[in-house]
Structure 1
Amino acid sequence: MNYETSVKAEEIGADFDSEARARRRRALIIGGIVVALALALAFVMFGRKSGQPAPVAAQGSKAQAPEVTVIKPGRELVASTVSATGTLAARVDMPVGVVGEGGMVTQVLVQPGAWVRAGQTLAVIERSVQVQQSASLQAQINVARANARLAEQELARSQQLAGRGFVSRADIDRKLATRDQAAAQVRVAEAQYRESLARTGRLDIRAPAAGLILTRSVEPGQVVGSGSGTLFRLAKGGEMEMRAAMAEADLSAVHVGGTATVTPVGSNQSFNGQVWQVSPVIDPQTRQGMARIALSYNPALRPGGFAQAEVVTGQMNAPLLPETAVLSDQNGSYVYIIDGDQKAQRRPVKTGQVTDKGIAILDGLTGEERVVLSAGAFLNPGETVKPRLTAFGR
């Protein structure tokens, strides 16, 4: 019994020693791992502070560089324009009033918006008195013609008798004078009759030229005369124009024959026109002059309306950029370009004409730079990026 007990005790002691050794090995292994992690962390932290970037960190930074879309704008011809505002009007606005003695209006034959031909009757004035006067003058013509025939016949008889010696030469001269006087009275009566017809005809208010009726300010029953003013306004040929007010500097760049685009206020439709007159004077108070832009007729062009015009003054060769590429702050307009080291650099620019294709750059770019198309506001000068070239306006 004692022998077995001692053997079992030795076995239990051996097991206890092996288990203790295993625990010590695990503790040493765990301690080594902790020390290794601490050394690695210290190396990373102190290595960055001393300016020695870790390779893994550098690879992570490169992977995090933002990708930006860039364009090469190149150069192209851009129309230089001048913007102006003004009013629409008839190119030739013709007032129509009473030409004759006037009277009571019996008929108005046209409405605003009607097209009329030259000489067409617009309104009729009552003429009963004038008609009777014309009839009286026509009767006087008949009387004068009868007297002229009688004088001609008497002259012929006297000339026959003079050949026989029964009538003196003095009587012949008197008969001849009477015949001529009667013929002259016929001509006077005819002239008076034609004058009466002309006066009666002037009672009709007629269109002085073919065109479009703009306004009407007369009604049947209204008594009109030479002091009644304008009864109708007519746009000759229906031609319209825009009277664009421009600053002195802008007006100096505008020339007769230049093209323009006119957009009435409240309309999405634009109309092509041509400058046909540039004001030779400048208003001393407003320091503005006027450019008159001829326009073809269109119902959307209403005289008296307000409109905006873009007048072409010439052409220039410049880079074009979309609006998203051009930024601005208190220092002015600028763009971001990507240099050869793939870094974003701020470049100040001078902008010009804004067109449907983009913004013309007058100064600051050659057109061969890689310009950030959008998201420039989120970049910092010197920041490394990954550019992706795309096409714009091509």
Structure 2
Amino acid sequence: MKAMNVEQGFWRKRVDAIEPAGDDHDVRASRRKLWLIVAAIAAVGAIIAYVMLSGGEKPAPQAPVLPRVTIVVPGRQPVTDLISATGNLAARREMPVGVAGEGGIVTRVLVEPGDWVGKGQVLATVDRQVQVQQSAQMHAQIAAAQADARLAQNELERAQKLVSRGFVSQADVERRTATRDAALARVRLSQAQYGEMNARLARLDIRSPEAGLVLARAIEPGQIVSSGGDPLFRLAKNGEMEMLARLAENDLARLAVGQSATVTPVGTRTGFKGQIWQLAPIIDPQTRQGTVRIALAYDKALRPGGFAAAEITSGRVDAPLLPESAVQSDEKGNFVYIIGAEDKVVRRDVKTGAVSNAGIAILSGLSGNERVVLSAGAFLNPGDKVIPERAKARP
């Protein structure tokens, strides 16, 4: 600013020195031109002075700030290898019960779903009025046949006494013996027919083939039933239940009969202990899954047809254990970020195992010595350079 004032004072003196005498109008015009020149020179001088004072150089660009990430080296430790599965509950041995005889009109139904029944217990009865009359008729036929047999026996005995005296021929004795044998055969035939009718009468009682739990009832009094129709009752033998768990074929290969499992039905947090009693001998070619049948003891919370989740213990393995925040997933599967050479982010695909309060077991993909990003992996990309910081040990 001081340099600018000096220049203005200098030029003001120059103007006064060269200002010609004459017409005032011409003088004023000359002054305006001269002042415009002075203002332009002052502006240029101010710009030059600013550039000189600022140094004339652009500021140097700042280096980028690298993000800091928390890492953990998981190592390896013994973990229980659990396989998770879902499926339906069912009776282990479901017994459909129908009409064994000729059927008829149902007169009584004696049980309800949820009742326990014993072997041979009557579940329902069918009208038997006609069969009772037929049974009485056959009983009378037995009495008539027995009377004929007694008469034939008496006549045979008399003929045998008279044959020695010559009053009856031997041929007559033989004829009377045949008559007696035919009468006895008619007695046995009548008795067999009577026994058959009694068996038919007994089959009009619909009975439980084994002890168990009544699951369903599809019969009411007054209903007409016949053999070969739909089951009238469904029973669970001894109340035993099971879960039909669906598993991928690679998980199925890791299991064996007798391994333990915990089954949790939908709607409850209670887990029920069971064990595998059968592995599917075939794999569904469409879903690439097989069925594992887990035997369960009866409990009212285990309802056949319900949905449940299972955790099957397939043994113990040494594997890295990571918190859930370290494991991510996308359309390609599960993965983690590790810090590689030059502190750059590297994606590593992994196969996860059992999930527990301690973390997620990594069955493959990690040796346990890698520096794994503990959290904030969603904000990183492969190839990013970071500043790794080891996680603090838990107290």
Aligned to 1:315: 316
Aligned to 2:218: 217
**What is the match of residue 87 of structure 2?**
86
Q: Secondary structure at the match of 1:113?
A: coil
> In the superposition, relative to structure 1, how do residues 209 and 328 fare at CA in structure 2: closer, same or farther (>3 Å)?
closer
- Describe the SS at the equivalent of 1:244: strand
The aligned counterpart of 2:164 is 163
Q: Aligned-pair distance for 1:374?
A: 7.0
Aligned length: 327
Contact 1:70 1:390 in 2 (8 A): no
Unaligned 5+ runs, structure 2:
1-60, 62-67
**Gap change, CA 1:372 and 1:289, over 3 Å in 2:** closer
How far apart in 2 are the matches of 1:362 and 1:288?
21
Aligned identity (percent) is 56
| 1:111 to partner: Cα distance | 0.2
> CA offsets per residue over residues 23-43 of structure 1, 9 Å max, x none?
xxxxxxxxxxxxxxxxxxxxx
Partner in structure 2 of residue 143 of structure 1: 144
Following superposition, the deviation at residue 286 of structure 1 comes to 3.3
Describe the superposition over 1:33-66 as per-residue Cα deviations: whole angstroms up to 9, x where unpaired: xxxxxxxxxxxxxxxx9xxxxxxxxxxxxxxxx9
Query: Per-residue deviation at 1:226?
Result: 1.8
Give the structure 1 partner of residue 266 of structure 2.
265
Letter in 2 for 1:334: V
Question: How many angstroms does 1:118 deviate by?
Answer: 1.2
* Mapped pair 1:390 → 2:385: no
3-state DSSP of counterpart to 2:164 = helix
52, 75, 78: which one pairs with 1:76?
Answer: 78
Provide TM-score, normalisation by structure 1. 0.71
Quote the Cα distance in structure 1 between the aligned partners of 2:223 and 2:308: 36
Shift of 1:230: 1.1
Structure 1 letter corresponding to 2:336: Y
Q: CA, structure 1 residues 314+179, in 2 after alignment: closer, same or farther (shift >3 Å)?
A: same
Contact 1:344-1:384 at 8 Å conserved across structures: no
Aligned runs of 1:112-261 on 2, under 5 Å?
A: 112-261=113-262
Answer yes or no: is the 8 Å Cα contact 2:69–2:388 preserved in 1. Answer: no
What runs of 5+ residues in structure 1 fail to find an aligned partner?
A: 1-48, 50-65, 338-342
Aligned partner of residue 95 in structure 2, secondary structure: strand
Deviations 1:131-153 (A, max 9, x none): 11111111111111111112112
Aligned residue among 318, 333, 336 for 1:334? 336
Deviation for aligned residue 1:345: 9.1
Question: Relative to 1, partners in 2 of residues 1:180 and 1:108: Cα closer, same or farther, differing over 3 Å?
Answer: same
Match of 1:353 in 2: 353
Equivalent position SS for 2:285 = coil
How far does residue 289 in structure 1 lie from its aligned partner after superposition? 2.6
Shift in Å, 1:348: 4.9
What amino acid maps onto 1:389 in structure 2?
A: A
| TM-superposed deviation, 1:270 | 1.8
For 1:344 and 1:389, locate their aligned partners in 2 and report how far apart those are by CA, in whole Å.
24
Distance in 2 between the 1:166 and 1:385 partners? 132
CA contact (8 A) 1:350 1:364 kept: yes
Structure 1 126/283 Cα, relative in aligned 2: closer, same or farther at 3 Å?
A: same
Q: Does the CA contact (< 8 Å) of 1:67 and 1:388 recur in 2?
A: no
Q: What amino acid does structure 2 have at the position aligned with 1:101? A: E
8 Å contact from structure 2 (residues 71, 389) kept in 1: no
